[in-house]
Amino acid sequence: MTLQTMLSTMSIGMLRTCGIFALTLIGSLPLGMVVALLKKSRFAVVRGIINVYISVIRGTPLMLQLLVWYFGPFYLFGANIGGWRFPALILGFVVNYAAYFAEIYRGGIESIPVSQYEAAQVLGYSKVQTFMRIILPQVVKRIMPSATNEVITLVKDTSLAFTLAYQEVFSLAKQISASQTSFMPFLVAGIFYFVANYGVEFAMSRIEKALDYYR
């Protein structure tokens, strides 16, 4: 197999990897904020449920969670999981990363001084206005380094899609390498992950600089 043919074959996997990455961010970023706010709920039952959810997600491997999402409907309800592979994959990633982003958001929210809330109250802002106009912009700025690390980790974690036999770039690299007895596919996959992570780091650094209103 020539390098051009290999790249053409693996490009399908690269697109699928990018799809997993994008859909996970689209789902987990807002869900993580919801979870973070629920964790600060005044209702003990809600806080307890959220704490259990975060503890379970952070205390078990993502690979195991993906298997549960995929095979769970069959073992629990006898459901047909023939077309369930990709939805289960995305749900597994979104639910997992939402828990981590929730803790990042929580740390950012709790780092805001109480005086900010008091000043907003004096100015007549509602709780929603206070959060959206005063608290959230500061939180986003403060959590950027931690969020960047988590997004970079996500790029690499997309390789765990092979757990459900979903052919992203890493799965295709393994298949081609086994059939061609060549290390080149792994090298190509490694370069892809490096370039993707470099792009993420560059984009996040630009966003961080744009939010650096203290300069």
* Paired tokens of 33: 């904020």
Q: Which two tokens stand for residue 6?
A: 């290999």
Measure Cα distances from 49 to 30, 56, 72, 92 in Å.
19, 11, 20, 18
| 76 C-beta neighbours (distance < 10 Å), count | 9
Residue type, 97: Y
CA atoms within 13 A on the CB side of 47: 6
Spatial contact of 28 and 93, defined as CB atoms under 8 Å apart: yes
| Under 8 Å between Cβ of 167 and 20 | no
Inter-residue contact 105 to 136 (CB < 8 Å) = no
Residue 1: per-residue pLDDT: 66
**pLDDT of amino acid 213:** 60
Query: Where in the chain are the domains?
Result: 3-210
Whole-number pLDDT of residue 116: 85
pTM for this entry: 0.91
CB atoms near residue 31 (< 10 Å): 17
Average pLDDT along the chain, 215 residues, taken 10 residues at a time: 79 93 96 94 94 96 95 88 90 97 93 87 86 88 92 94 90 88 89 94 88 61
Q: What b/e string do you get for 202-213 counting C-beta neighbours within 10 Å, with b at 16 or more?
A: eebeeeeeeeee
Tokens at residue 181, please? 């007895």
Name the superfamily (CATH) of residues 3-210.
Answer: MetI-like (1.10.3720.10)
Contact (Cβ atoms closer than 8 angstroms) between residue 94 and residue 35: no
d(CA 99, CA 32): 6
pLDDT attached to residue 82: 81
How far apart (Å, rounded) are the C-alpha atoms in residues 134 and 154?
Answer: 29
Q: What angle do CA 67, 71, 74 make, to 5 degrees?
A: 170
Q: How far apart are CA 50 and CA 21, in angstroms?
A: 24
